[in-house]
Amino acid sequence: MNTTLRALVNQAERLVRAEVYEEAIALCHAILRGYPRYVRGYRILAEAHLGLGNHGEAADLFRRTLGVDPEDPLGYAGLGIIFASRGLREEAIWQLERAFELAPGRDGLRGELARLYREQGMATQVQLTRAALARLYARGGLWNKAIGELRELVLREPYRLDLQASLVRTLWRAQRGDEAAEAARAVLGQAPNCLVARLVLGAYLCRQGHADEAQPLLQGAQELDPEGYEATRLLGAEWPRLLATAGLSATPAELAREAEDAEPPDTTSLAGATPAGETSLPSWLACDDEAGDAGAHIAMLPDGPIRALLGNLAEQEAAIEGEDDLPFGSEDGVAKGRAAEPAAGDGVAPAPRATATTPRLADPEAPPLSPLAQWQQQLDLEPDDHQARLGLARALVKAGRLDEALGHYDALASLAGCLADVIADLEGLAGVVDDHRALRELLGDAYARAGRFQDAMEMYRWLLEHGGT
Residues found in the chain = 469
Q: Round the CA-based radius of gyration of the chain to a whole number and report it.
A: 25
- List, in order, residues 6 or more apart from 406 with CB less than 8 Å away: 438, 439, 442
Count the neighbouring beta carbons within 10 Å of the beta carbon of residue 89: 18
List, for residues 23-77, the tens digit of each pLDDT value.
Answer: 999 999 999 999 999 999 999 999 999 999 999 999 999 999 999 999 999 999 9
Q: Is the pLDDT of residue 458 over 70?
A: yes
List, for residues 330-380, the tens digit of each pLDDT value.
Answer: 233 323 333 333 333 333 333 334 445 555 544 555 556 788 888 888 888
Give the residue from 300, 177, 326 showing the smallest Cα distance to 233. Answer: 300
Whether residue 31 contacts residue 48, with contact meaning beta carbons closer than 8 Å, is answered with no
Alpha-carbon distance of 162 to 166, in angstroms, equals 6
Question: Where are the extended beta strands (E) located within 141-257?
Answer: none
For the CA atoms of 212, 215, 216, 219, the dihedral, rounded to the nearest 10 degrees, stands at -170
Alpha-carbon distance of 60 to 38, in angstroms, equals 15
DSSP at 273: S
Give the residue from 228, 172, 232 showing the smallest Cα distance to 197. Answer: 172
Q: Tell me what pLDDT residue 324 has.
A: 31
Q: Tell me what pLDDT residue 307 has.
A: 55
CB-facing half-sphere around the CA of 222: CA atoms within 13 A: 22
Confidence of residue 273 (pLDDT cuts 50, 70, 90): very low
Kindly report which listed range (122-136, 145-159, 279-293) carries the lowest average pLDDT score: 279-293
Is residue 355 classed exposed, middle or buried when 0-12, 13-18 and 19+ CB atoms within 10 A define those classes? Answer: exposed
- List, in order, residues 6 or more apart from 285 with CB less than 8 Å away: 81, 305, 306, 308, 309
Give the residue from 222, 293, 281 showing the smallest Cα distance to 255. Answer: 222
- Give the chain's largest Cα–Cα span: 91
CB-facing half-sphere around the CA of 469: CA atoms within 13 A: 6
pTM: predicted TM-score of the whole model, two decimal places: 0.69
When pLDDT is averaged across residues 150-162 and rounded to a whole number, the result is 95
DSSP at 345: T
Domains with residue ranges and CATH for the chain = 1-124+303-324 (1.25.40.10), 371-465 (1.25.40)
Buried b (16+ CB within 10 A) or exposed e, 17-35: bbbbbebbbebbeebeeeb
Is residue 388 classed exposed, middle or buried when 0-12, 13-18 and 19+ CB atoms within 10 A define those classes? Answer: buried
Alpha-carbon distance of 462 to 451, in angstroms, equals 19
Highest mean pLDDT among 213-227, 296-310, 322-336 belongs to 213-227
Q: Is the pLDDT of residue 124 over 60?
A: yes
Q: Kindly report the CA angle at 47 between 166 and 281, in degrees rounded to 5?
A: 120
Whether residue 2 contacts residue 291, with contact meaning beta carbons closer than 8 Å, is answered with no
Q: Is the pLDDT of residue 257 over 70?
A: no
Confidence of residue 162 (pLDDT cuts 50, 70, 90): very high
Q: Tell me what pLDDT residue 259 has.
A: 57
- Looking at residue 66, its amino acid is L
Whether residue 143 contacts residue 469, with contact meaning beta carbons closer than 8 Å, is answered with yes
Alpha-carbon distance of 198 to 181, in angstroms, equals 10
For the CA atoms of 36, 40, 238, 463, the dihedral, rounded to the nearest 10 degrees, stands at -150
φ/ψ (deg, to 5) at 338: -70, -25
Distance from CA of residue 198 to its chain's centroid? 21
When pLDDT is averaged across residues 80-86 and rounded to a whole number, the result is 94
Q: Measured in Å, how far apart are the chain's first and last C-alpha atoms?
A: 48
Higher pLDDT, 8 or 334: 8
List, for residues 234-250, the tens digit of each pLDDT value.
Answer: 999 899 999 999 999 87
- Looking at residue 244, its amino acid is A
List, for residues 379-421, the tens digit of each pLDDT value.
Answer: 888 888 889 999 999 999 988 899 999 999 999 988 878 999 9
- Looking at residue 409, its amino acid is Y
Whether residue 204 contacts residue 197, with contact meaning beta carbons closer than 8 Å, is answered with no
Provide the sign of the torsion angle of the four alpha carbons 19, 23, 27, 33, taken in this order: positive
Alpha-carbon distance of 319 to 335, in angstroms, equals 12
